[in-house]
Amino acid sequence: MEKNVLQRNIFFRLFAICAPFLLGAVVWTQFARPAAASPAAPKITVAASIVPLGDFCRNIGGDLVNVTVLVPPGASPHAFEPSPSAVAKATAARVFVYVGAGLDPWAERLVKAQKTPGQVVVEAVNGIHLINDADEHEPEKPGAKGPGEAEHHHHHEAGNPHVWLDPVIAEDICRRLAQALIKVDPAQQPTYEVNLARYLGQLQALNQDIKDTVATFRRRDYVCFHPAYTYFSRRYGLNEVGVIEAAPGREPSPRHLQKIIAAIKKTGVQAVFAEPQFSPRVAEVIAQEAGVQVLFLDPLGGRPPYGSDYIKLMRHNLAILTQAMQ
C-alpha cells in the first residue's frame, strides 16, 4: 500500500515538472506552422505579345507571375490578329508588354483603344535607338532601279523592331520589365531584383559565348528571309548582303531574286536563312539557283528543341549560323 502511494506521489511530481514544457511545445507548434496555411497571394498577370518577351517576364517574375503569350508559335506578329479571348487577357493583365515600332501593330492599337486602370504597359523598343533603312542601305528611288539601290531592304517606317535578338539590348528590356513588375507589386521588389540580377548574368554569358563563336567564323556575309538579325549583325560584326522579302507579305520580284543570287555568288555565302514562321519556297528557289543550302533561323521561338526559352533559342540560332559560316 505504501509502495502504491509512493509511486503515485512520484508520478504527480513528474507531471507537475513536465506539464509546462508540454504546454509550451503545443503552443510553439501552433505558432510555427508554415504561412501556407493562409490563402496565397494571387499571381501578377502578365500578357506579352511574343514568346521572347514572355520568357523575359517569367525569368524576372518567377513564381510571382502568370504569363500569357498572345502570338502563338508559328504565327507572324506582323499579320497576327488577336481573338476576343486574347484581347480580354491583354486587357485584364496587370502588365502588358509588346515590341512596338510596327512589329505588332495590333498590340499598339489595343493599347490605344483599351485604357485599363492600373495596368503598366511596356513597349520594348522604347528608349532604344532603332536602325532605319537609311542607316543600313541607300533609300529606294522612284522610277528605274539601278544596281546601287537596295531594293531588298525590309521597310519599317518607325525603324527596325527586332531589338530582342541583340542580347545586350535584351538586358535593357529586362531591366524595364523588372521596373514594371515592381511598380505593380512593390512588396516583392527584393525578389524581382534578385531574379533580374540572375537572368542578366545569363544574358551576359550568352553575349560572351556569341562573341567567342563569331570570332571563329571564316565568313561574315549572309542572306536572310527578312532583316530580323540586323541588330544581332551589328553587335557581332556580320553583314546582311540580301533580304528575300522587301516588306511583310510582299513577294519579291524576279529582278530582286536575281540580285540576291548574284550577291550570293559574289560573296561566297553558303546558305540562305529561312524562318519557320514563313514558307521557305522562295528561299529554296534562290538556294537552288545559287547552289547553296537552306537553313532555318528562328527569331521568335516557341517550338522544339528550344521551346519558349530565349537563351536556348539564341544558342540554337548560333549553332545554325556556325554551320553556315565555318
- Asked if residues 285 and 264 have their Cβ atoms less than 8 Å apart, the reply is no
Alpha-helical regions (H) of the chain: 2-31, 51-61, 84-92, 105-113, 133-136, 167-184, 189-214, 230-236, 254-267, 281-290, 310-325
Per-residue pLDDT of the chain (326 residues; tens, 9 = 90+): 444 444 444 444 544 444 444 444 433 333 333 333 335 789 999 999 999 999 999 999 999 999 999 999 989 998 899 999 999 999 999 999 999 999 999 999 999 887 788 999 999 999 999 998 545 443 333 333 333 333 333 445 679 999 999 999 999 999 999 999 999 999 999 999 999 999 999 999 999 999 999 999 999 999 999 899 999 999 999 999 999 986 667 788 999 999 999 999 999 999 999 999 999 999 999 999 999 999 999 999 999 999 999 999 999 999 999 999 98
CA separation, residue 270 to residues 191, 225, 318, 324 (Å): 46, 15, 15, 6
| Residue in this structure with the C-alpha cell 560572351, named with its chain if needed | 208
Residue 320 to residue 273: CA distance in whole angstroms: 9
Q: 49 with 302: CB under 8 angstroms?
A: no
| Residue ranges of domains in the chain, CATH in brackets | 44-129+149-207 (3.40.50.1980), 217-325 (3.40.50.1980)
